[in-house]
Amino acid sequence: MVLKILRLAAHVLFILCIPVLLVTSNGRGAVNTLRLHEYSYDKYNAVTITGLEKDELMHIADELIIYFSSGQELVVVEYFNEREVTHLADVKNLIKPFYWVQEASLMYAILYIIFGYFLLKRKWWPALAKRLIWTSGFTLGFFAAIGVALAINFDGLFTWFHEVSFSNYFWLMPPSDLLTKLYPDGFFFEASLLVVVATVIECALVAGISAGYLILRKRKLEASVTTGG
């Protein structure tokens, strides 16, 4: 009885683990993608608004990417004021647990697949494919709903997120602050939507590949029975 409960718990955890892995991986990728920072600078005319050269802006982006992945306590960028530096430290403290969750979920998914194959051998692959379809379906529905919510009321959700996530109001920056000029609300909407869309596409691919494998396997088994092989 205990063993059955543990197996069920392991399967459920895996189903929940996949969407967590995908969204945290996509979020981490967005934070560390230089091209996404450059997209914001170009679209929102950062060169004109800030008076900084493009090379200077890209240097800031490089420093932010390095900062969020390092053990450095405070970002060292001469253009940021004390409020911005403090807020970026708060953001880093918020991002760190997401990185840990991403790494933990990746490790669990790998171990789950390895141990499943060790226990079931070839029977494991169709079982895994079915679970991937389940988790992909769950994730598609969940993140499709999030995408709709973002499109309908991003400003409200964005404000709620900040109020829940931060213990101070340094995130309420005036338009004169550099961070506001480099990363306006429109950028965060687009970046959030990008993460959601990427997650949905990845789930659709996982579900499609898994379903394709099961269909081909079924046809192969039927052909084998028909030919007596």
Q: What is the mean pLDDT of each run of 10 residues along the chain (229 residues)?
A: 80 89 93 94 95 95 93 90 94 92 95 90 90 88 83 88 87 91 93 90 92 90 71
Q: Where are the alpha helices (DSSP H) in the chain?
A: 2-31, 34-43, 46-50, 54-68, 82-120, 124-165, 178-182, 185-227
Tokens for 156? 């409200």
pLDDT at residue 28, as a whole number = 94
Query: Looking at residue 223, what is its pLDDT?
Result: 79
pLDDT on residue 229 = 52
Structure tokens at 157: 């959700």
Structural contact between residues 143 and 200, judged by C-beta atoms closer than 8 angstroms:
yes
d(CA 1, CA 189): 48
Q: Give phi and psi for 212, each to the nearest 5.
A: -60, -40
Q: Which two tokens stand for residue 211?
A: 């379903």
Ordered DSSP codes for 111-171: HHHHHHHHHHGGGHHHHHHHHHHHHHHHHHHHHHHHHHHHHHHHHHHHHHHHHHH-SSSTT
Of 26, 22, 16, 3, nearest in space to 131 by CA: 16
Position 228 scores a pLDDT of 58
Distance, CA of 114 to CA of 35 (rounded, Å)? 35
Which residue, 95, 77, 203, is CA-closest to 140?
Answer: 203
Closest CA to 87 of 155, 168, 31: 168
Asked if residue 178 lies in contact with residue 56, where contact means CB atoms within 8 angstroms, the answer is no
Write the CB contacts of 25 (distance below 8 Å, at least 6 apart in sequence): 102, 106
* pLDDT computed for residue 143 by the predictor: 82
State the CB neighbour count (10 A cutoff) for residue 127: 12
Q: Locate tokens 């079915």: which residue? A: 130
